[in-house]
Structure 1
Amino acid sequence: MNPASIVISAIIGYLITYIVTKWIINISKAKGFVGKDINKLDKPEIPVLGGISIVAGFVSGSFAYLIFTDRSNASETIEKVIISVLLSSLLIGYLGILDDIFSLRQSIRAFLPVFASVPLILYSSGHSIISIPFFGEVDFGIFFYILILPAVLTITANAFNMLEGLNGLGAGMGLIMASALAYIGLRSDGPSFYAGILALILAFVLLAFLLFNKYPAKVFPGNIGTYFIGSVIGSIGIAGFMYTALFFLYIPYAIEFILKARTKFKGVSFGKVSPEGYLYWDEKPNSLTHIVMKMGKFKEYQVVAILWGIELIFAILAIIFQTITIRI
């Protein structure tokens, strides 16, 4: 293991994301790929294809690691982890860009991740055992490949897309989740270690993007961004066998799924804006964002900060319980 190659790869991912985001902001405005920021009183038009820079940064960082690292040891494991994560994530990123341009039906959005799970299924062949805290190891056999893996990737990709709509929310949540997976993976060995490297690269990529996406946002990730972030996090968790961590990291998204299901997935995460610039929601809540808005008078960035704090708590739990799982 060469620590320098890990650092260089993460920095390359950061720089590429930063550069491409600035380019995307200009080109999106010129081509008319903009959307209204409805959480602002003046409803400014913001570029919506920022997710392209997230894809570019993550792919660049991942390939940089393949170039700069010494693959004389564990070469097959390194390539399998990185290639399976990249292929699955890029397939779902493709779904996102199609959705941004053509506004795909919900059924298509929900079903495509099943096909995107194929690279991860091929990589995981022979690994159908999951360690469950307090229960030990459970071998799911063929059901691991035909049900569990496609379900995990479908849930992680689609769920991440549900809790979005406020400046910096998705990128910040993803940064916290990726950081937790990086901490877990880099303290492990085997596939988990290399998955941790990818998680670290993703964390640096999202940090660069957050510079432009934080309040007041200069760019939105779009569906390509939210689907891609969710799928990369899910793919890293699968490739690194960090299922317990994924469970805790996605608890807020499970709550969001329940809230959205009550509206037959027609609910939004946006708020209403008071003349003073506070976000509020005076109807039945159909998002975690609305629950926070009902807790008091908050500006948009304060709502986002509270949700980041909630995700941080679950990230800490993910680290604790994943560690327990490894020790069992």
Structure 2
Amino acid sequence: MNTASVILSVFISFLIGYLSTIWVIKQARKSGFVGKDINKPNKPEVPLMGGIGVIAGFVAGAFTLLVSDVRSERVIPAVILSSLLIAFLGLLDDIFNVRQSIRAFLPIFASVPLVVYSVGHSVISIPFLGQVNFGIFYYVIIIPFALTIASNAFNMLEGLNGLGAGMGIIMLATFAYIGLSHGSGPTYQAGLISLVALSALMAFLLFNKYPAKVFPGNIGTYFIGALVGAIGIAGYMYTALAVLYVPYVIEFILKARTRFKGVSFGKVDSLGRLYWDEKPNSLTHIVMKIGHFKEYQVVIILWIIEAIFAIIAVILQTTTIVI
């Protein structure tokens, strides 16, 4: 693909994401869509629903990429449609606080574009086992299950400034490296779309990093999780997707112990450092139990953990891509 077209798509994604986030911050504050940043001593109010900026940037960049490269005509629409359907779930949750059953059910419908895109491909290469053909179960179980887990799990490990956006950037950078190293086919196209998504998230992180000027909201966390899942599925990078989500599996187990009533927030001491003196409900609490850290330090530690899994994902995925 023309390098200039890729650069243009990435630039548009960043620019639209940046400008849209600025607009969301102003409109959310004006409309009263704000939430307390409870990890700060003074509990400031921060605008919500910043994920709209990520969505706007990604869609703009993705369509630019689609126009520039017709070979992506199946990968990009499938990723866009599936991730936007789950973003809609996040929007409903932000506004109406929908029931858990609806949150778990909607991703099944959101997986339809990916199922249609994947028709004719039901083989997954599993480390140490080799290639396994799952047949019809690939379409009716594996794809819906993978997308549901990816979107819901990502929403669990959130609550600290920049945490989710940074984790998403590391994941997407991993897919971009794997895809672009592959050289051709849907895995390569998934690598290109990862660059576009990565750019939109980087624009958002400028406002979401410590101290946050905007929160992603459920629309943002669900969208980012679904985007990562959809790209991993569309690019047949299941091994990498599974490895990248190991921290979220741990988070799921910790949250399950509380019947999913646990939080990822910490307690704030007089110096503005976070700590947790109870049974841990989250990976964030495990980090806080190691020592009293500033919020951004807890986030950096978790980013480093995710980066380690990203390296493992690249090593394992390199020899397991099946087209």
- TM-score (structure 2 length as normaliser): 0.98
C-alpha offsets along residues 15-61 of structure 1, whole Å, 9 cap, x if unaligned?
Answer: 00100111111100000000000000100000011000010000000
Residue in 1 that maps onto 2:188: 193
Q: Structure 1 pair 297/138, CA: closer, same or farther in 2 (3 Å)? A: same
**C-alpha distance in 2 between matches for 1:298 and 1:166:** 12
Residues 217-228 of structure 1 mapped to structure 2, 5 A cutoff? 217-228=212-223
C-alpha offsets along residues 53-89 of structure 1, whole Å, 9 cap, x if unaligned?
Answer: 010000000001122x243xxx3xx111000000000
Residue 324 (structure 1) aligned with residue 319 (structure 2): yes
- Cα offset for 1:3? 1.2
**C-alpha distance in 1 between matches for 2:101 and 2:48:** 23
Residues 1-328 of structure 1 mapped to structure 2, 5 A cutoff? 1-67=1-67, 69-71=68-70, 75=71, 78-188=72-182, 189-326=184-321
Q: Which 4+ runs in 1 deviate beyond 2 A?
A: none
C-alpha offsets along residues 111-159 of structure 1, whole Å, 9 cap, x if unaligned?
Answer: 1101100000011011000011121100001111111000000000000
**C-alpha distance in 1 between matches for 2:43 and 2:128:** 50
Q: Structure 1 pair 129/40, CA: closer, same or farther in 2 (3 Å)? A: same
- Cα offset for 1:327? 8.8
For 1:66, give the aligned amino acid: L
Contact 2:156 2:251 (C-alpha < 8 Å) held by counterparts: yes
Query: What is the aligned residue count?
Result: 322
For 1:101, give the aligned amino acid: I
**C-alpha distance in 1 between matches for 2:81 and 2:60:** 14
**C-alpha distance in 1 between matches for 2:231 and 2:314:** 15
For 2:303, give the aligned amino acid: W
What percent identity do the matched residue pairs reach?
67
State the SS of the aligned residue for 1:294. helix
C-alpha offsets along residues 236-259 of structure 1, whole Å, 9 cap, x if unaligned?
Answer: 000000000001100000000000
For 2:195, give the aligned amino acid: L
Q: Structure 1 pair 215/115, CA: closer, same or farther in 2 (3 Å)? A: same
Unaligned stretches of 5+ residues in structure 2: none
> Please, what is the CA RMSD of the aligned residues?
1.1
C-alpha offsets along residues 223-243 of structure 1, whole Å, 9 cap, x if unaligned?
Answer: 000000000000000000000
For 1:81, give the aligned amino acid: V
C-alpha offsets along residues 185-227 of structure 1, whole Å, 9 cap, x if unaligned?
Answer: 1111200011111111111111110000000000000000000
Contact 2:108 2:148 (C-alpha < 8 Å) held by counterparts: yes
State the SS of the aligned residue for 2:321. helix
- Cα offset for 1:7? 1.1
Contact 2:173 2:198 (C-alpha < 8 Å) held by counterparts: yes
Contact 2:107 2:148 (C-alpha < 8 Å) held by counterparts: yes
Unaligned stretches of 5+ residues in structure 1: none
**C-alpha distance in 2 between matches for 1:62 and 1:310:** 29
**C-alpha distance in 1 between matches for 2:158 and 2:118:** 31
Contact 2:124 2:322 (C-alpha < 8 Å) held by counterparts: no
User: Which has the larger displacement, 58-67 or 151-160?
Assistant: 58-67
**C-alpha distance in 2 between matches for 1:137 and 1:57:** 37
For 2:47, give the aligned amino acid: P
**C-alpha distance in 2 between matches for 1:179 and 1:309:** 14
**C-alpha distance in 2 between matches for 1:173 and 1:327:** 26
- TM-score (structure 1 length as normaliser): 0.97
